[in-house]
């Protein structure tokens, strides 16, 4: 059970890190789409989140470094 709690905590921290990144980097109109995807079960909504977050990440090396650092820090803390 401890492993499940640890994984759930890490997942929640990574979700918050991606949300914070998205708030800084993606257009404001995409944020409600991301919020809705958090509550939809299944793999298709994760693909939508990936597409939304990939847009600013693919455009800038700075954005890639920022996202990688925030997710790495959230997973390891």
Q: What is the pLDDT of residues 13-28, one digit of tens each?
A: 988 898 898 888 888 8
Of 2-6, 17-21, 36-40, 62-66, the least confident: 36-40
Mean predicted confidence (pLDDT) in 56-75: 87
Q: What is the pLDDT of residues 43-60, one digit of tens each?
A: 777 777 777 778 778 888
What's the rounded Cα separation, in Å, for the pair 46 and 37?
A: 7
Give the largest Cα separation in the chain, rounded.
Answer: 40
Give the domain ranges of the chain: 2-76
**Owner of token pair 């759930």:** 8
Q: Which has more confidence, 77 or 69?
A: 69
């Amino acid at each position: 059970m401890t492993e499940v709690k640890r994984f759930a905590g890490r997942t929640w921290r990574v979700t918050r890190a991606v949300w914070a990144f998205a708030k800084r980097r993606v257009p404001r109109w995409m944020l409600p789409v991301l919020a809705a995807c958090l509550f939809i079960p299944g793999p298709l909504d994760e693909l939508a989140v990936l597409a939304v977050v990939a847009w600013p990440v693919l455009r800038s090396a700075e954005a890639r470094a920022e996202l990688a650092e925030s997710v790495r820090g959230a997973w390891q803390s």
